[in-house]
Amino acid sequence: MIDKAVPVQQGAVPIPRPGEIYDPVARALDQVGDRWTLVLVRHLLGGPQGFQELRSRTGIAPRVLSARLRELAADGFVETTRIGSRSLYAVTENGRSLEPIIAAIARWWVVRAVEDQDIDTRSFTATVPQSILETLPFVVREDRSRGVDITFEIRLTGTGGGVWTVRVHDGHCTVTRGFAQRADVRYTADARAWCSVVLGRMDARDAVKRDLMSKEGGREAIDFYFHLIARPGSSAGREEFDSKESKRRKA
């Protein structure tokens, strides 16, 4: 005997509260969806920093930064640590577990959003080299860097300058401060000029002509291994820059 269909009750179905629904994306964003959470963790992944350092690197208002750091500490993503006489903020293991999420967001923005939404990267006038270099592990081109072992040394002078070692090894990238024990390629540049080239504000050819940038060592260009954020069309300048440097070394 076939059972009769159960009649559907008439009337509006009550809308549940968001917290009553199992949705991993929504529930994760409940915890880390604040605008500054992942930004602060991203900066701290590079090493412990002080309150003023975080302010200067993010532009966050002091009251907001203080509140966000308290929340991150309460959620177990950030902790305070002492290095010498300084009290600094550092990521915990729980905070470090957010790194793949941060990397995916960074890669999406550089690869997709900049071009698709026609974002003018020349507006990022307060960008310093450290901010760009620390994002390289997030935007390495895995397809081009599998099986590769190459070390770049970046020597930058002027405001925001310093020395960094960038190593690409079998699809992964590490960035550390200091001179490389062995560099395959060495870039020497003015810090502002280097940022301008990466952001597309300056053509690499102009930087070379003005003696603001030079390259030694192998023919590899750093932008071959990374999704750099210069707008479409600026890569031609870097190709000519590499070509010019190659001719200079042969002369």
User: Which of 81-85, 126-130, 166-170, 217-221 reaches the highest mean pLDDT?
Assistant: 166-170
CA dihedral for 47, 50, 56, 59, sign (positive or negative): positive
CB 240 within 8 A of CB 205: yes
Per the model's pLDDT, the better-predicted residue between 182 and 251 turns out to be: 182
Give all strands (DSSP E) within the chain, no chain letters. Answer: 78-83, 86-91, 149-157, 162-169, 172-177, 185-190, 213-217
Residue 18, pLDDT score:
85
Per the model's pLDDT, the better-predicted residue between 79 and 230 turns out to be: 79
pLDDT digits (tens, 9 = 90+) for 16-62: 888 889 999 998 888 888 889 999 999 999 899 999 999 999 999 99
CA gap 162, 179 in Å, rounded = 10
Region 161-171 average pLDDT? 96
Give residue 133's pLDDT band: very low, low, confident or very high (50, 70, 90).
very high
Domains of the chain in start order, with CATH, are: 18-96 (1.10.10.10), 100-250 (3.30.1050.10)
End-to-end, the C-alpha distance of the chain in Å comes to: 95
Give residue 3's pLDDT band: very low, low, confident or very high (50, 70, 90).
low
User: Which of 14-23, 94-103, 114-123 reaches the highest mean pLDDT?
Assistant: 94-103
CA gap 188, 14 in Å, rounded = 64
Give residue 9's pLDDT band: very low, low, confident or very high (50, 70, 90).
low
Q: How far is CA 89 from CA 36, 95, 103, 218, in A?
A: 15, 12, 21, 39
pLDDT digits (tens, 9 = 90+) for 171-224: 999 999 999 999 999 999 999 999 988 888 888 888 989 999 999 998 888 889
Q: pTM for this structure? A: 0.78
Helix (H, G, I), strand (E, B) or coil at 68: helix
CA gap 167, 173 in Å, rounded = 6
Mean pLDDT computed over every residue of the chain: 86
Residue 240, pLDDT score:
42
